[in-house]
Structure formats: structure tokens, C-alpha cells
Amino acid sequence: MALKLSVLDQSPVPEGSSGAQALRNTLDLARHADRLGYHRYWVAEHHGPSLAGASPEALIGPLAAATRRIRVGSGGVMLPHYSPLKVAETFSILSGLFAGRIDLGIGRAAGTDPLTTYALQRDRRQTMPDDFPDQLSELLAYLEGTIPADHPFARLTTLPGRPELPDVWLLGSSAQSAIWAAQLGLPYSFADFINPRGAENAELYRERFEPARLEAPQVAVGAWALAAETEAEAERLASSARMSFTLLRQGRLIEVPPPEKALRFLAQQGEQTGRRWILGTPDAVRAGLEKLAADYGAEEVIVVTITHDHAARKRSYELIAEAFGRPAAVAA
């Protein structure tokens, strides 16, 4: 089976641009990915000045309307911030409008700093409870209509978009997320671009998988990748993300800097990101992605790319698709 290629878009805000332009870039890139034959297009939830995708549920509708066949979804919705019922209703509506194309990727992380997490809380009298497993079970019960008939919430399973439903994925970068995905029989997407030592977690997921919602385990791996015509150009373009991630580890959120500025920064201060970078010529990137997928036993690679120049990001996804022979498949 051919390796599936997908996109994770964090809606990066280039220095000198704006959040509004970053969101328009997301729409443009989604159309591009659709034409290139990518399998799915996920948008991430982050709260801060450097990434504009604070609300995946607000982006998914316009993205699905702007594309033809690509699956569209959240990578992911950070469930601790929300009511499970509200998430179920929102993605039910999206599924009703775009049947067979909506994914609901769920994450546990805050996706932001502690102050913003606090500001997102409806009840600020106490710390937000750590009850993610209960939240996830409640969300699945709404979507699947499995709340017992005598339960007070039973009638709430009459969701607005039925009979259409999203495909639910569990996202993670830890062993605990792998265990939850396995116990619930959910497809699992591991964020290697956050934790590059996750292959053993994917194996743990497969070992503990219980065939409830799926007959067999399903693994996708999220990878940071960038392709250019030459290795030197790929290194130059990637410097913008490397500077951003280095400062992120220091608690500093910045807009994506231009390569010239980033190269000066990295020459002076070095890089301390601890991330895996798959970059270079298209053939080199293909080899890196195929090896990564093999290490994780993944059927799908979800590629995240951040550059200062939007055209360079589009070109990178184009070169990767060409390296895997995707345009010919779309034309056929």
C-alpha cells in the first residue's frame, strides 16, 4: 500500500505580515494540497502571536468549501478547553455539510502558555481539572449515541448533522496518549515533530490495541519536512523555523523571521530545539519520510512545514508530492 501523504498547517504568521494574511495563506495552501493529491489537511490549535490557527473548528468549514476531495480536520482540538457536547455538535454540523470529509483530531495539551490557558477557562475560580479521559469518553458517547437511555444526557445524542459523523483521531506525543488510543480502539497520530523519540510509543499502541472502533490499529506520524531544489536552499529556508523553535524553548513566541535574520541569529546563538528536521532535495525528503514511516510502522505521514515565504512553503509541498508521484495520480 502506498504511503499516504497529508498536511498539518499551523497557520504560521511571517514577520512583517499579519494573522489575517496567514489565514488566507492557509486557504491557499489547502487548495494547493487538494490539487496535488494529499490525503488530508489538518489545522492545529495554538494560541499566541506566531501561529494564527487558534480555532480549527472555525477554519475547517471554509477549508472544506474551498477544496474538492481532500479530507479536512483538526490536528487538533485541545479538548481540555471545551465542553465535549459543544465539540460534538460543532463537528456534527461540519460533517453534515461535508459528508465523508471531516476529521476530528483530539489532543490533550493546552496548545499555549499557562496564562492563556487560564484566560480560556470559563470558570476561573479554580484550576482546570485534569479529566481528559472522562472528557474523551463523553465526547465519543455523544457522537456514537451510546449514552444509556436512562442517563440525563441521553437525548443530547441527537446531533444536528446526523447521520453524518467525523472520523475521530487521538493525537499525542507520549506513551499515555498511545495507551488511551489503544484502549479506545481509535486511530492514533503521533507528533514526531514534537517528540522525535516516539517510535516505541507507536509500538505500544499496536501492542495494546483493542479492536472496538477499528478492526486493526491505524498509525499516522506527524513530521517536520521541507523540500527545495537544492540542499543549501532547503537549509536556508528552514533557518526561519529553527530560530522560531529555539526561542520557543526559551518561552519567547515570535513571528516567523526571514531567513537572512534567522541565519544571523543561528550563527551567533546556535540552535537548541531537539527536533527532527527532514529537509533537502525532494528525493532526500522522500527517503527521510519513508524511513520515518517505517520506524513508526505508520501508513501515513502528516507533513508540517514552516517558512517565512508562503510561496516557498507551497513549493515544498509541491516538490514532496512530485517525489512521491502524486500529481500523476491526480491527473489520472
Which pLDDT does position 327 carry in this prediction?
57
Strands 40-43 and 4-9, by their bridges, are parallel
Which pLDDT does position 226 carry in this prediction?
98
From the centroid of its chain, how far is CA 72? 11
Query: Which residues, listed in sequence order, are joined to residue 223 by a DSSP beta bridge?
Result: 303
Tens digit of pLDDT per residue, the chain (332 long)?
789 999 999 999 999 999 999 999 999 999 999 999 999 999 999 988 889 999 999 999 999 999 999 999 999 999 999 999 999 999 999 999 999 999 999 999 877 777 777 888 877 887 777 889 999 999 999 999 999 989 989 888 899 999 999 999 999 999 999 999 999 999 999 999 999 999 999 999 999 999 989 999 999 999 999 999 999 999 999 999 999 999 988 888 899 999 999 999 999 988 876 789 999 999 999 999 999 999 999 999 999 999 999 999 999 999 999 999 975 445 43
Give whole-number Cα distances, 238 to 5, 12, 100, 246, in Å: 20, 13, 35, 12
Q: Indicate the domain borders of the chain.
A: 4-223+299-314
**Quick one: cell of 319?**
516538490
Task: Tell me the fold of 4-223+299-314.
Answer: TIM Barrel (3.20.20)
Q: Is the dihedral of CA 6, 318, 69, 58 positive or negative?
A: positive
CA distance 26 to 44: 11
